[in-house]
Structure 1
Amino acid sequence: MTDPISDITAWLTDGARSRPEPSDMMAECCERLIAAGLPLWRVGVFVRTLHPEIFGRNFIWRPTTGVELGSVDFDIQHTPEFLRSPLAIVFQEGAEVRCRLDAPGNNRFPFFDDMRAEGVTDYVAVPLSFVDGMIHASSWTTRQQGGFTDAQLTDLKRVVPPLTRLIEVIGLRRTAETLLDTYVGPRAGERILAGQIRRGHTETMHAAIWLSDLRGFTALSDRLPPEQVVEILNLYFDCQVAAIHKHGGEVLKFMGDGLLAVFPIEADEQALCSRVLEAAREARAAVAAMQFVSGETPERFRFGVALHVGRLLYGNIGGGNRLDFTCIGPAVNLAARLEKIAGRLGRTIVASGAFVGTCAADWDNLGEFPIAGFSRAEQVYGLSDETPRE
């Protein structure tokens, strides 16, 4: 006679290939368990992540709604709701927690009030122990009168080990994607995961280039403690990164107080350059509004950004097994020279003739400037709404 639980564990062990997406896998796993006789109601999987802003992700399944995805930030660890929840015990002690919610006087966890309102009679939280020793959690509930039977709990726990291993594999893949997105950007990360990891693996890209830096950063670094300088840099980069991402750009590199971003041009060059300029305007306003109090007088900040359009080489550059996924080429060098000219002219936003030729705006011709390393001078433009500052 076929054992349906064995079929489910074999399906999980084989990678749940019929449902490769994590949420789909969880939904099918729960549906298979119900078909095998487990009277499940609400099932949750809670996985901690390696992410600069997100503490963990959760997958909540109900037969009426399917899988709902969510995430929580690091502050959740210190909230009364988490500290007084059964999952806190699972995470901190790696221990299983079971509570019969239909038992009188069982008010150990405030969370159970919500479960009772859904008709839940039994709750069990089971740790998911990864190979590296990190503890994650799962929770299983039923509305069956009398709660789970011993046989049902035994079947449930047979499924947990292969489910844990599969979640770990999926989690490792997601962690790799998250780290690559965080440190090299989503487009570069996608290429690296696809196998573009050898030195010399490059491609040509036609893109709008953004190169910026913070005015007076050297004097600021000399005057303030390093911890405050780092805090200021993070606030300053926040003013730009959100605008860059919003308008389709990708941040490639932070270089001290400098930022290099690209906006790949795949279709309408004029529309994309207009979005780049809008991102620059938004960043300009955000930096102008930025304040940092380091004494009695708040610090105020200015920055400069150069915009250019050109072809660049995008890929792996480095030495031995230490590589950087970045972009190089005359177009990047020209953007860097233009940013220095912006500083000399007291301008926030400057652009090359190539950028201005595809981006309709109120531009002022600031003159022709010799560019170090280039054979000919470059016409430089600034926005008419800016007043040069010393």
Structure 2
Amino acid sequence: MTHAHVQRLAAWIARQGLAGASETELLDGFCAECTAAGLPLSRAMLVIDTLHPIYEGRVFRWRNDGVAEEPMVEYGRTDTGAAAADWQSSIFYQMLASGDEERRVRIATQDPHPWKHLAELKEAGHADYVAFVHRFSAESSIGEMDCLYSYWVTRDPDGFGEEGLAALRALLPPLALAVKCASLARIAETLVEVYLGRDAGRLVLKGRIARGITETIQAVLWFSDLRDFTTIADAAEPGEIIPLLNDYADAAISAVHAAGGDVMKLIGDGVLAIFKAEDPAEACRSALRAEADLRGRVAALNARRTAEGRPVTTVTLGLHIGPVSYGNIGSDDRLDFTVVGPAVNEVSRISSMCRSVDRGILVSSDFRAATPAPESENLVSVGRYALRGVGRAQELFTLDPAHL
């Protein structure tokens, strides 16, 4: 690979990074460009940590032998159990411990190999291997994302050669920067989705970040909370409270998301969510699908927790439909992307009435009116009630027990 090839590839990396190419696109394109320029790559892998509630990082893989392989794999925590043992026996862990930035192994001639994957590469006919660790500064690290790990492999019996190694040394720093940019964009998407919700997060990333930018939307409102949570919390061991909240919140949030809804806020043991659709009937259907899903999830959860000897409860749910203001509320430098309006207050009051009428779900007359058949036929009246803080009494409905 000539100096002109290196310059052209560096320019390609910059263009791809500015264009917002994903990590997979960067790796695939880089390997293709290197191969076309005379650097005979046969395998490559990038590893970068992330900031995610489930995954510690992601692995990106490329190979030129036509064998089907997932180009991207997400991995969990590597600080306990077998995952920790695997990580601590890896070449990258040893490079971090020693402070090395580069380590080369002529896998065709060296034997035995200190790392299992090198022996597997040798058996597959590869000849030369070089690993790199490109570290980020402490100020530019986010979470565990403090470096980019990579390795590069060739089947060429002569190996990479000094020219090939020099090309990799010159090109990998800009590639690491482009990959870091792509990963930071992914982290931003994860953070806003985790803390704001999927739709609100998307709007914020598109620029809806100034105070007072709201829109009036028609939405189905969901407010669920836990029955007798205060009593359970007073009686339970302190270490049981957060796991209990997490278990039941996971059931509610998963049911809402599976039905296409967006969770706006977690309020203690309560969940405020919305279902938006151009057709209000479809939004009502989605909310009822989520309710049915939630019942199944809570039944399975209670069976598991009972078997474990842990406290159990049930979820009460209020559903309503109406206009709400949807957007940013707060101060100039501390905002909440949420929904507000009389309808939000009403759905909270409807949910709280579940205890008074001993029902797991109550829906407003507006919700029932917007619900199409046959779903609406399963909603039966429980009477007319005055809701605290709401100016008008209204008829409330529940699911017909015969259809549960």
TM-score normalised over the length of structure 2: 0.88
Residues 242-270 of structure 1, C-alpha deviation per residue, up to 9 Å, x if partnerless? 1111110111110100100111112x432
* Equivalent runs, 1:1-390 vs 2, <5 Å: 3-17=4-18, 20-64=21-65, 68-75=71-78, 78=81, 79=83, 80-90=85-95, 92-95=97-100, 96-131=102-137, 132=140, 134-266=146-278, 268-291=279-302, 297-359=309-371, 360-361=374-375, 362-385=378-401
SS at match of 1:253: strand
CA–CA distance in structure 1, aligned partners of residues 393 and 363 of structure 2 = 14
- Displacement of 1:93: 4.9
**Bigger helix fraction:** 2
Where 1:3 maps in the other structure, the secondary structure is helix
Gap change, CA 1:2 and 1:330, over 3 Å in 2: same
1:162 & 1:327 partners in 2: Cα distance? 43
The alignment partner of 2:381 has SS state of strand
What stretches of structure 2 of length at least 5 have no aligned partner?
A: none
Inter-partner Cα distance in structure 2 for 1:128 and 1:71? 20
The structure-2 alpha-carbon separation of the partners of 1:199 and 1:104, relative to structure 1 and needing over 3 Å to count, comes to closer
CA distance, structure 2, for counterparts of residue 40 and residue 332 of structure 1: 59
Contact 2:22 2:182 in 1 (8 A): no
Post-superposition shift, 1:102? 0.9
Change in CA separation of 1:350 and 1:189 when aligned onto 2, cut-off 3 Å: same
Listed one character per residue, the Cα deviations across residues 147-206 of structure 1 (whole Å, up to 9, x for unaligned) are: 221221111110011111111222222211111111001211111111111110111222
Higher alpha-carbon deviation: 285-294 or 66-75: 285-294
CA contact (8 A) 2:17 2:182 kept: no
Give yes or no for contact 2:22–2:179 (8 Å, CA) kept in 1.
no
Aligned residues: 387
- Cα-to-partner distance string for 1:85-131 (whole Å, 9 max, x where unaligned): 22333455553332222124232111223323432112211112223
Give, as a single letter, the amino acid of the residue that structure 2 aligns with 1:42: R
Distance 1:356 1:294, change over 3 A: closer
Q: Is the 8 A contact 2:305 2:312 kept in 1?
A: no
Q: Distance in 1 between matches of 2:390 and 2:356?
A: 19
In 2: Cα distance, 1:329 partner to 1:94 partner:
57
Once the two structures are overlaid, the 10-residue window that deviates more, 168-177 or 229-238, is 168-177
Identity in percent: 32
Letter in 2 for 1:82: W
SS at match of 1:357: helix
State whether residues 26 and 61 of structure 1, in contact with CA within 8 Å, keep that contact through their aligned partners in structure 2. Answer: yes
Contact residue 45 and residue 60 of structure 1 kept, 8 A: yes
Structure-2 change in CA distance of 1:169 and 1:371 (3 Å)? same
Q: Indicate how the Cα distance of structure 1 residues 167 and 248 shifts in structure 2: closer, same or farther if over 3 A, else same.
A: same
Q: How many angstroms apart in 2 are the aligned matches of 1:37 and 1:296? A: 61
The answer to whether the 8 Å contact 2:219/2:283 transfers is: no
TM-fit CA distance, 1:14: 4.5
Q: Name the CA shift for 1:76/1:36 in 2 (closer, same or farther; >3 Å).
A: farther
CA shift digits 1:359-383 (9 cap, x unpaired): 3331221011112233321111111
Change (3 A) 1:175 1:298: closer
Counterpart secondary structure, 1:242: helix
CA contact (8 A) 2:315 2:360 kept: yes
C-alpha deviation, 1:21, in angstroms = 3.4
Task: Report if the CA contact (8 A) 2:319-2:363 is conserved.
Answer: yes
CA–CA distance in structure 2, aligned partners of residues 136 and 213 of structure 1: 43
The 1:150–1:232 alpha-carbon spacing in structure 2 relative to 1, beyond 3 Å, is: same
Q: CA deviation at 1:20?
A: 2.7
CA shift at 1:386, angstroms? 7.3
More displaced stretch, 217-226 vs 247-256: 217-226
Shift of 1:300: 2.0
Q: In structure 1, list runs of 5 or more residues that go unmatched.
A: none
The answer as to whether partners of 2:78 and 2:87 remain within 8 angstroms in 1 is no
* Inter-CA distance 109–223: structure 2 relative to 1 (3 Å threshold): same
1:209/1:261 contact within 8 Å kept: yes
Mapped to 2, the partners of 1:273 and 1:47 lie a distance apart of 42
SS of equivalent to 2:317:
strand
Cα separation, partners in 2 of 1:2 and 1:83, compared to 1, 3 Å: closer
Q: TM-score, normalised by structure 1?
A: 0.91
Does structure 2 conserve the Cα–Cα contact (< 8 Å) formed by 1:26 and 1:67? no
Change (3 A) 1:241 1:114: farther
